[in-house]
Structure 1
């Protein structure tokens, strides 16, 4: 592999390169589908891999990738800014989450090609190394989706949290805010407080805890009712306490809360992040590099956040290629705080992809292979073809039949 990359770098230095095709490989990871994107070139052995996974939108995203392909054919993949502009500008209509996710996966693959063509890891092309390791956190069940989204019992919570710590992590995220609307009943608040107390007692003060609200509260008051129960146990942050889009509500919560507030996984591009930064409506921004436009746009978001004294904790519940792209971004981003990862989502996680991700304790090591340093085993991937994903959101219904936010 290393010799092949060295040969590619020698052969392509100063040589025109053209994109000849863009394809997708869908891998069903039981609770969600991973969408891998492969960009092909006219240079033998030179191609790039990215990821464009978006839950419950697999066929829409793969269709978007197919629609975007003609805008790239014949272009030099190393002209990343120009390629992204072509996909955005020539599309005419605003692309939204589906289209920008497709662009993100393609853009990742272009960086992989660029790195391979010059024999350097992508993080060097993004500005170089600003840290020697990347702190990460995982979820209950080590990424197993049922544990992540369906742990509301104190006993199960303690057992699964202890298992995470035993694996060497010093930070974890939980999702135990109940479905609700514009009020938060006292029993519901008390149960959240009880869960948090049990969690802190189990893992101790040396482990950071993040609570993902998933935008479930339907009002500022409802969100604050739960936050007040959590504050005594010093969460690292409370994530998405209200639905994205209401910057004023988020700002009020950030001012009232006695713990850091995070959000941003559902925002697209610097244009949607900038108003949030201008109002100092959060403390930690969580762009998803699969969904916000790619690494270049992620770096713009991070720079704007840094100017507003806001940290960056990229969202990433996706597959192994998304993790590698985030790793390279994190190595090169000064205001990075912590990285989400779900490496235990399926037992065969590492079989479909060879990655340079190496975890020591609760941190990823800095990779040195050219490009992203990844290779997809397409034969192994084919053993896990597309399937409709589990619709967790279908459970977001109150006792009276009201459909609420998942």
Structure 2
């Protein structure tokens, strides 16, 4: 084992990721072992990098092996402002410490989590049709009509994926447009769901099913795009369709539990929650069938605690993963070790330069991600690649749909 595991430095790196930026923590020990993690500022978390840098002053000089102690100290120091960006900063630091610790010990990160239960992880093709409709500059071929939606359904099947997830779209003159009022695009703060939204969503789902065929599982993500009334309208409108799950975000565990008890489809939720304390009311309410955990936000070690509580409440878990390849591998190690796994999210449509940014890209065979046995997360950012694609000043959901 490397003798000196004290943390020498904590740095923030970023690069251009098309419509957003990728962000990374680089934690280096005195003996030069580097632990990496990926975080995200564009998913409603401005200033996260600054929070990490401020907290890093308490990490430098500490033993990188003692990630639980460091997390507890940082939590104590930030207790008056628990949650939000501060919690995500703690998660990003924890994940970099886990990578460093695994490399110091010469083992994959899953060994720190109790060892792997499975060698490969079933994944679903997330943002299927979504990226090619909403971000055609970066994800090709652009989808401009229902035929394109059917075509990507066929592509999923032909590439041997067993599941896909899509989002809400409305159609004007046959052309799809993302409908995301919960994120201000379009800006409809009342987030009511009208008949056109219901008709167009059903038409979209029928088209993607037509392409994918009967054996591909279809997941639908509704995000924060309705209130309880609207979610129930949507569930009634698609009650007869074959759906793997409906993903719903709600600030109220009671409201979500009410929805679940009336839903003809399984309900998944909780991807925006931070810490076990925020999950517990949803577990007690039996508000969802699958708890989605964002491990970059929470930290993989803390996420294992959340998953253990989910298990005690007879709930399976799934990681939230729509970031870069390092995040995918962080989630893969979590998925390999957690007993109560349902399925793993990943994006298959990638930027043209994604492969340049990391030392290894995830290996996916017939719709399953193969778990590597390399030390740490099994991949890390390629700093030369990051420098070749400098970050933009703005990006992510904070600018999505913004009028300029």
TM-score range, shorter chain: 0.7 to 0.9
SS in 1 for 2:165: strand
Instruction: Report if the CA contact (8 A) 2:23-2:39 is conserved.
Output: yes
The alpha-carbon deviation at position 132 of structure 1 amounts to 2.5
Task: Note the alpha carbon deviations across 1:282-319, whole angstroms, 9 max, x for none.
Answer: 0011111111x201111011111111111111111111
Mapping of residues 249-260 of structure 1, within 5 Å: 249-260=255-266
Q: Give the aligned partner of residue 234 of structure 2.
A: 226
Is the deviation greater in 176-185 or in 326-335?
Answer: 176-185
Instruction: Report if the CA contact (8 A) 1:27-1:33 is conserved.
Output: yes
Q: Give the aligned partner of residue 160 of structure 2.
A: 168
Which residue of 332, 338, 341 maps to 2:343? 338
Change (3 A) 1:234 1:382: same
Instruction: Report if the CA contact (8 A) 1:244-1:267 is conserved.
Output: no
Structure 1: distance between partners of 2:262 and 2:300: 33
Indicate whether 1:286 and 2:292 are aligned: yes
Is the deviation greater in 15-24 or in 160-169?
Answer: 160-169
Structure 2: distance between partners of 1:239 and 1:290: 19
Q: Give the aligned partner of residue 211 of structure 2.
A: 202
Structure 2: distance between partners of 1:394 and 1:200: 28
Indicate whether 1:239 and 2:239 are aligned: no
Mapping of residues 134-173 of structure 1, within 5 Å: 134-138=121-125, 139-141=127-129, 146=135, 153-173=145-165
SS in 1 for 2:57: helix
Normalising to structure 2: TM-score of the pair?
Answer: 0.88
Q: Give the aligned partner of residue 268 of structure 2.
A: 262
Q: Calculate the aligned-residue CA RMSD, in Å.
A: 2.3
SS in 1 for 2:239: helix
Alignment gaps of 5+ in structure 2: 170-178, 182-187
Q: Give the aligned partner of residue 353 of structure 1.
A: 358
Alignment gaps of 5+ in structure 1: 1-8, 398-406
Instruction: Report if the CA contact (8 A) 1:182-1:221 is conserved.
Output: no
Structure 2: distance between partners of 1:248 and 1:300: 23
SS in 2 for 1:184: coil
Indicate whether 1:369 and 2:369 are aligned: no
Structure 2: distance between partners of 1:289 and 1:81: 16
Structure 1: distance between partners of 2:359 and 2:163: 25
Structure 1: distance between partners of 2:380 and 2:205: 40
Instruction: Report if the CA contact (8 A) 2:114-2:337 is conserved.
Output: yes
Q: Give the aligned partner of residue 85 of structure 1.
A: 72
SS in 1 for 2:333: helix
Change (3 A) 1:57 1:190: closer
Structure 1: distance between partners of 2:278 and 2:396: 29
Indicate whether 1:381 and 2:369 are aligned: no
Task: Note the alpha carbon deviations across 1:175-198, whole angstroms, 9 max, x for none.
Answer: 115446464323321222222222
Instruction: Report if the CA contact (8 A) 1:173-1:211 is conserved.
Output: yes
Q: Give the aligned partner of residue 40 of structure 2.
A: 53
Indicate whether 1:70 and 2:54 are aligned: no
Structure 2: distance between partners of 1:287 and 1:152: 33
Instruction: Report if the CA contact (8 A) 1:315-1:340 is conserved.
Output: yes
Instruction: Report if the CA contact (8 A) 1:18-1:74 is conserved.
Output: yes
Indicate whether 1:103 and 2:90 are aligned: yes
The alpha-carbon deviation at position 202 of structure 1 amounts to 1.7
Change (3 A) 1:209 1:394: same
Normalising to structure 1: TM-score of the pair?
Answer: 0.87
